[in-house]
């Protein structure tokens, strides 16, 4: 039998782990590099770390709009 074209449980597990970890790291790096008003930075860090995929999705939809912008 030819199993080269089939995806098994182990490969699906790795895909889900990668899809969960990479956006989390991108969100954490973005939070650390930017400034937020008050304690929002700490709140977003905790939410992304402990909320994992849900916290990451919340950050990308809501949190990125809360970043402080530099006005020169």
- Taking the model in full, what pTM does it have? 0.74
pLDDT digits 0-9 by tens, 22-69: 899 999 999 999 998 889 999 999 999 999 889 999 999 998 888 887
Q: 49: exposed, middle or buried (C-beta count within 10 Å: 0-12, 13-18, 19+)? A: middle
| pLDDT at residue 10, rounded to an integer | 80
Which residue shows structure tokens 């995806």? 7
- Can you give the pLDDT at residue 1? 52
Query: With contact defined as beta carbons under 8 Å apart, do 39 and 47 qualify?
Result: no
pLDDT > 80? residue 4: no
27-9-2 Cα angle (round to 5): 125
Crossing angle of helices 40-61/9-33, nearest 10°? 130
């Amino acid at each position: 039998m030819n199993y080269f074209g089939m995806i098994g449980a182990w490969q699906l597990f790795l895909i889900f782990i990668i899809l969960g970890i990479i956006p989390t790291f991108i969100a954490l790096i973005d939070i650390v590099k930017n400034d937020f008003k008050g304690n929002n930075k700490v709140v977003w860090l905790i939410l992304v770390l402990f909320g994992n995929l849900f916290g990451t999705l919340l950050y990308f939809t809501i949190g990125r709009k809360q970043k402080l912008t530099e006005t020169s």
